[in-house]
């Protein structure tokens, strides 16, 4: 990734604030409403409405939340479930390093802004040509997504509690479906798609024999395997070019 957006080029890089707000709201609303599926999944896995809402309020990273309640619903050990959720959430720390340079927010604001550092706010911020646009995109995306995610989580949890057995309604599939929908747009490069493809094999193969949550951790071993394989391919290509 390059440096912070330059504001020295004037209007040639300008993007109207209204356009930034429109794009940010589009992302915030689309993803925020999927909190309903998380509420249904979480309540269906045995968590109370209060516990479900607390996860969305305090954790606020969809992939980690789905991974946690999915493992718990499958009878997984809470520590294993938490470990899987933690590893998925680690990427937000790296996003934060990039956004801290890009947004250059006042020190007093940074602890609060850190809670909104997720895939969507990062993507919208990095898409803006100026620092002002990045700040607007980050704020609007974070505010709209956080508000709608938590409201829809509450509605989903209350709805699951009202219908009773979510499995009978087929709602147990809502969580995994949305989880995959959240992850799919992140697979932009051939390397990322290769990691995902290789990770599926041990993940699915070990589901019947390992406790819930553990196959996800095992699947993470696909990362060094794919990187090693691609490194070997790159070295072979270099040798061919040298000839």
pLDDT one digit per residue (tens) for the chain, 243 residues: 444 454 444 444 678 999 999 999 998 998 898 898 889 888 888 889 999 999 999 999 888 888 888 777 767 777 877 887 888 788 899 999 999 999 999 999 999 999 999 989 999 999 999 999 999 999 999 999 999 999 999 999 998 877 666 555 555 555 556 556 656 656 667 766 777 777 777 766 766 676 655 666 676 666 676 667 767 777 787 777 776
Residue 61 and residue 53: Cα distance in Å, rounded?
13
> pTM of the predicted model, to two decimals?
0.67
Query: What number of other Cβ atoms are within 10 A of residue 34's Cβ?
Result: 23
SS3 breakdown of the chain: % helix, strand, coil, rounded to 5?
75, 0, 25
Looking up tokens 């080029």 gives: 9
Residue 46 and residue 176: Cα distance in Å, rounded?
16
Query: What number of other Cβ atoms are within 10 A of residue 22's Cβ?
Result: 11
């Amino acid at each position: 990734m390059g440096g912070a957006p330059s504001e020295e080029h004037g209007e040639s890089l300008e993007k109207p604030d209204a356009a930034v707000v429109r794009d940010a709201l589009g992302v915030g609303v689309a993803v925020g409403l999927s909190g309903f599926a998380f509420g249904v999944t979480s309540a269906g896995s045995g968590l109370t409405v209060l516990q479900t809402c607390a996860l969305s309020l305090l954790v606020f990273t969809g992939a980690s939340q789905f991974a946690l309640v999915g493992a718990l619903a499958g009878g997984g050990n809470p520590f294993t479930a938490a470990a899987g959720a933690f590893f998925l959430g680690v990427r937000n720390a790296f996003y934060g390093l990039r956004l801290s340079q890009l947004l250059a927010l006042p020190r007093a604001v940074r602890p609060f802004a850190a809670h909104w550092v997720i895939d969507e706010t990062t993507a919208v911020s990095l898409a803006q040509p100026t620092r002002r646009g990045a700040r607007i995109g980050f704020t609007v995306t974070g505010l709209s997504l956080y508000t709608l995610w938590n409201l829809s989580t509450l509605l989903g949890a209350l709805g699951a509690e009202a219908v009773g057995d979510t499995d009978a309604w087929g709602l147990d599939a809502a969580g995994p479906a949305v989880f995959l929908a959240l992850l799919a747009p992140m697979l932009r490069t051939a390397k990322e798609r290769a990691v995902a493809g290789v990770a599926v094999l041990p993940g699915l193969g070990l589901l019947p024999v390992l406790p819930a949550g553990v196959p996800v951790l095992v699947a993470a071993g696909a990362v060094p395997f794919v990187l090693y394989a691609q490194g070997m391919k790159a070295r072979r290509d270099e040798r061919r070019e040298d000839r």
